[in-house]
Amino acid sequence: MIAAQDIKIKKVERSRLAEIDLKNLPFGKFFSDHMLVSDYGSGEWKNTEIKPYQPLLLQPSLAALHYGQAIFEGIKAYKDEKGQAYIFRPHDNFKRFNISATRMQMPVIPEEIFVEGMRQLIRLDKEWIPAIPNHSLYIRPFMFASDEVIGVKPSEHYKFLIILSPTGPYYSEPMRIYVEEKYTRAAPGGVGFAKAAGNYGGAMLATAEARKQGYDQVLWTDAFEHKYVQEIGTMNVFFVIGNTIITPDLESGTILNGVTRDSAITLFTDMGYIIEERPVHIDDMIKAYKAGQLKEVFGTGTAATISMIKELRYKDFVMNFDQTGWKAAPAMKQKLDAIRLGQAEDKFGWMFKI
C-alpha cells in the first residue's frame, strides 16, 4: 500500500492561473497546473506522482482505445467563506469508482491514491478553486487500459489519473425531456451502474436525435418494454406526487447510483418527505399528471445539482410543468448548495476537509 507521503511531487515552475479568466469558464475546458498519475502493472500500483498537467505519450495500439476498458468519476471541491477548501463526499465516489473498475475487469485503486492523492493534488492547486460564489473545482479521476497490444483480453497495465477543472455556476434552464422508447442505455446484467466511458458514447445518438426535435436530453427507459424510467443523461430522476418523492430503485443494475441522488434522498427524508425507491412506470406518472397530482420532476447530478424539468414528452403525450409552485426541488437545491458552500450545518459529514 502507498502511504500519502510516498506520492512524489514535481511542481510547475510558473502557474498558469493568471492566464485564466475565472469569471468566464466553459465547463471542462481549462485545467489546473498539476495532475496525479499512477501506473498499474505486475499486480500493483506504482510511480504515483503529482506533476505538471501535460500530454500523455501513448501508442496507437493502446488497449483502451480499442476495447473500451475506461472508467471515470466526477466530484467537486468548494471553498467556504473563510477560504477553507472541501471535497464533497469523495469516499462515495471512491467506492463507486472501484465498483465500476470491478465490473470492467480493471484493478481496484487504493484509497491512499484516490482520496489522499486527490487531497494532496487539490492542496497544491488550491488557488484554482475560484473564491467566487457558486464556483467550484471539478475533479475528474479516470482509469484506462494501457497495454500496447490489440488482443481482446483484459489489459495487464492501467493508468489512473486525476485532473482538475475550475467551473463556474451551472445555470441550468428548466429542461425539455424526451422519454426514449427506441434506443436503450442499459439492461440488467449490463454496465449501466458503472461510470464506464462507453455508456456515454452509446447514448449520444439518442440525445442528438432528441435535440433535433427541440429536447435537451432523453429520459431512458427499460430495455424490454420501454415503460419503466431509468435516468436522464448524467442525472438521476425524481418525481413528486403530493408529499411523496419517487425515484427509480437501483435493483436492476441499470442506473448509476448518484452521490447527489443519495444526498437528496437523505436530506428529503430528514425534511419529512416520504421517499419511495421503486420501479417507476411511465403510465403511472401520466395518470398522476392527468389527475393533477404530479407536481415536480427533476434531475440530480454533480454538475448542476438539481435540474428542473418543464416538459416531459412520452410518444405524443406532452406533460408541462410550471415551476412557480414548486417546493421540493428548489428547497433541495438551496439546501445542497448551502451545505457545499459551508453556509449550512454539515449534519451528515459530507464535506471532506483539504
Ligand X SMILES: *Cc1c(COP(=O)(O)O)cnc(C)c1O
By beta-carbon proximity to ligand X, the closer residue of 207 and 300 is: 300
37, 48 Cβ separation under 8 angstroms: yes
Cell triple for residue 216? 435537451
Name the segment binding ligand X (CB under 6 A); options: 100-108, 143-151, 172-180, 231-239.
Answer: 231-239
Please, which residue, 50 or 336, has the CB nearer to ligand X?
A: 336
Residue 175 interacts with ligand X (CB under 6 A): yes or no = no
Q: Which H or E run contains 67?
A: helix 63-67
Closer residue to ligand X in complex, CB, 100/120: 100
Subset of 245-264 contacting ligand X (CB under 6 A):
256, 258-261
Residue 226 and residue 281 in contact, taking contact as beta carbons nearer than 8 Å: no
**Alpha carbon distances (Å) from 197 to 74, 120, 142, 201, 203:** 12, 26, 10, 7, 11
Using CB under 6 A, which of the segments 21-29, 117-125, 234-242, 342-350 binds ligand X?
234-242
Q: Which is nearer to ligand X, 7 or 306 (CB)?
A: 306
Q: How far is the CB of 74 from ligand X (least distance, A)?
A: 5
Region near ligand X per CB under 6 A, out of 132-140, 228-236, 314-322, 329-337: 228-236
Q: Binders of ligand X among 68-97, rule CB under 6 A?
A: 74
Least Å distance, CB 322 to ligand X, is: 26
Closer to ligand X at the Cβ: 2 or 161?
A: 161
Number of residues that bind ligand X (CB under 6 A): 14
Unique residue bearing C-alpha cell 398522476: 288
Judged by DSSP in three states, 228 sits in: strand
Q: Is the CB of residue 164 less than 8 Å from the CB of residue 121?
A: yes
DSSP string across 325-342: G--HHHHHHHHHHHHHTT
Q: How far is the CB of 230 from ligand X (least distance, A)?
A: 9
Minimal distance, residue 140 CB to ligand X, in Å: 11
Among the listed residues 33, 180, 231, 296, the single contact to ligand X using CB under 6 A: 231
Residues 189-208 that bind ligand X (CB under 6 A): 195
Is the Cβ of residue 7 or residue 219 nearer to ligand X in the bound state?
Answer: 219
Cα–Cα distance measured from residue 285 to residue 52, given in angstroms and rounded to the nearest whole number: 50
Smallest distance from ligand X to CB 261, Å: 6
DSSP assigned state of 100: H
CA–CA gap between residue 249 and residue 257 (Å, rounded) = 9
| Minimum CB distance to ligand X, residue 100 (Å) | 10
CB of 190 vs ligand X, minimal distance in Å: 13
In whole angstroms, what is the distance from residue 32 CA to residue 343 CA? Answer: 26
Shortest distance (Å) from residue 259 CB to ligand X: 4
SS3 string, 144-184, reads: EECCCCCCCCCCCCEEEEEEEEEECCCCCCCEEEEECCCCC
Per the CB < 8 A criterion, the answer to whether 306 and 336 are in contact is yes
In angstroms, what is the minimal distance from the CB of 262 to ligand X? 8
State phi, psi for 70 to the nearest 5 degrees: -155, 130
Q: Which stretch binds ligand X (CB under 6 A): 35-43, 128-136, 173-181, 230-238?
A: 230-238
Residues 278-307 that bind ligand X (CB under 6 A): 300-302
Interacting stretch for ligand X, rule CB under 6 A, among 119-127, 130-138, 229-237, 282-290?
229-237
Q: Which residues bind ligand X (CB under 6 A)?
A: 74, 195, 231, 234-236, 256, 258-261, 300-302
